[in-house]
Amino acid sequence: MTPGLASFTRLLPKAELHLHIEGSLEPEQMFAFAKRNRVALPFANVGEARAAYAFSKLQDFLDIYYAGAGVLLQEEDFHDLALAYFERLHADGGVHAEISFDPQTHTDRGVPFDAVAGGLLAGMAAAREKFGITSALILCFLRHLPEENAIAALRMAEPWLDRIIGVGLDSSEAGHPPRKFARVFAAARERGLKCVAHAGEEGPPEYVLEALDVLRIDRLDHGNRSLEDAGLVRRLAASGMALTVCPLSNLRLCVVKDLAAHPIRKMLELGLRATINSDDPAYFGGYLLDNYLRTAGALSLTRAEITALARNSFLGSFLDAASVSRHLAAIDRLEAAPAV
């Protein structure tokens, strides 16, 4: 990729729609929080932690990710974690983010829901103040646990629901189909929350269909395996459903064998509203811009394709129509500028 195209990509206004805030916990920060909170870690040092980030499937990663999250105890930890992420997003040319959090990972360890949500929202407010970045919060249910636990999490979130944009579904996909969470998603929708779900990352296209038909999702997280079903692809394209695709995550979790084999260009060609996101950047080796640049480099994406991905990130967001138009107009202005 040319330096000109790389700097164009950095300058492009972009939204991140698939980011687990717990997955932005860098090893350095993990050690700092562990010290501050007097928590023991299974790693002797930062190098040892990074060396453990070698995964052959989703579950390998999840085991380490949940262990790492054990250092997050105080409201200020959640604030600091969020603000550090937004600082990186700002450096990457990100202007908006819809970030997920896993409350059950914390409340099951005795951390109050209020400390989690309060800290994250304070970090989001600080990011708006410092960097002008707008953001929204998505509460994810852990699919490896029973639906009753998800219902309890939604109940715990009740006083905060006016500051939460939607609910999601994450964690171990295989063996935990979306239909297991039909009731809690119906309850969330009744409360006016948006619905998103991980589907088709490791799970089959049938899980994507269930996410559409049973959970009635507004956006699809990952969705890679939708490509195995031509009828499903046509349906996703016709409905303008956004897919929050995560190339470096797909690489590290062996969803694709190398980035040159990543299906993102194919998704665009099929008319899918594909977006690029970082998922768990501290564990997968790159933040939003790295995901754009490494994917664009491996696939020789054109300026028009990169621009389409950035446009999709706003079209697929939960921003109001006026904000989407404002961001698209900023992209148009950059596009109209002479190429460097």
Smallest gap from Cβ 170 to ligand ADE, in A, equals 4
Smallest gap from Cβ 6 to Zn ion, in A, equals 26
Which residue of the set 201, 202, 269, 335 is catalytic? Answer: 201
Smallest gap from Cβ 332 to Zn ion, in A, equals 30
C-alpha 112 chain-centroid distance? 23
Q: CA-CA distance, 30 to 243, in Å (whole number)?
A: 30
Pick between residue 68 and residue 123 the one whose CB is nearest to ligand ADE.
Answer: 68
Partner in contact with 16, chosen from Zn ion, ligand ADE, none, beta carbon below 5 to 8 Å by kind: none
Smallest gap from Cβ 220 to Zn ion, in A, equals 11
Q: Contacts with Zn ion in 264-283 (CB under 5 A)?
A: 279
CB neighbour list of residue 314: distance below 8 Å, 6 or more residues apart: 13, 15, 96, 323, 324, 327, 328, 331
Q: Does 170 bind ligand ADE (CB under 6 A)?
A: yes
In the three-class reduction of DSSP (H, G, I as helix; E, B as strand; rest coil), residue 170 is classed as: strand
34: which 2 tokens?
Answer: 């562990």
Q: CA-CA distance, 115 to 22, in Å (whole number)?
A: 14
Nearest C-alpha neighbor of 277 from the set 317, 237, 304, 240: 317
Q: Contacts with ligand ADE in 4-43 (CB under 6 A)?
A: 20, 23
The answer to whether 121 touches 137, Cβ cutoff 8 Å, is yes
Pick between residue 8 and residue 61 the one whose CB is nearest to Zn ion.
Answer: 61
In the three-class reduction of DSSP (H, G, I as helix; E, B as strand; rest coil), residue 308 is classed as: helix
Q: CA-CA distance, 112 to 304, in Å (whole number)?
A: 46
Q: CA-CA distance, 168 to 180, in Å (whole number)?
A: 13
Q: With contacts defined by CB under 5 A, how many residues of the chain interact with Zn ion? A: 1
With tokens 């499937």, the residue in question is 57
Please tell me what DSSP assigns to residue 259.
Answer: G
**Number of residue whose CB is nearest ligand ADE:** 170
Pick between residue 49 and residue 58 the one whose CB is nearest to ligand ADE.
Answer: 58
| Contact mark string toward Zn ion, 131..170, x via CB under 5 A | ----------------------------------------
**Which member of 198, 225, 252, 273 binds ligand ADE (CB under 6 A)?**
198
Tell me, what amino acid is at 39? V
Give yes or no: 228 in active site: no
Q: Contacts with ligand ADE in 102-161 (CB under 6 A)?
A: none
Partner in contact with 23, chosen from Zn ion, ligand ADE, none, beta carbon below 5 to 8 Å by kind: ligand ADE
| Contact mark string toward ligand ADE, 216..255, x via CB under 6 A | ---------------------------------x------
Please tell me what DSSP assigns to residue 11.
Answer: H
Phi and psi torsions of 163, nearest 5°: -115, 10
Catalytic residues, which ones? 201
Residues that bind ligand ADE (CB under 6 A): 20, 23, 58, 65, 170-171, 198, 201, 249, 279-280
